Amino acid sequence: METIINIVSFILLIGLLLSPVFIVWRLNRLNVRYKFIIYLTICILTTAIIALTFGWWADTSDQMLLKHYGYNFDAMNDTERFGNVSSDNIERVKNLEKSIMGVGWQLKVIITYVFYSPYLLIVYLVAYLFSKKAMKTTDGI
């Protein structure tokens, strides 16, 4: 169960990291005007959807794992909540319980996206510098 959850999380993380690279690569191959505006628009839409999916998946997968370990969501106290959890998994379940409490996944996604968004600009800047360097080398030949 945890392996499948980790694989899906890893795929979503790779999607967040590689989608801006793929988009800028694709736009550089197409000869379009206003590349930066088109890149930014497509990247924000694409990565926002992936980030929302990733945040939702993180919360939902934690709840799935809690159910898998026997956690009782409707219990009134800790004894009832952890009654069906084996002693081997108590620490893991307590950590999962802490991760789903507090701030909701939507706010976590928004805060994370604020820190993620400069990555979009860095990818574009690096691609721009590489394309300028490639143009200089072909002009010198």
> Which DSSP letter does residue 73 get?
T
pLDDT at residue 83, as a whole number = 85
Query: Does the pLDDT at position 136 exceed 80?
Result: no
Distance CA 16, CA 55 (A): 12
Q: Which amino acid is located at 98 in the chain?
A: K
Whether pLDDT at 76 is above 90: no
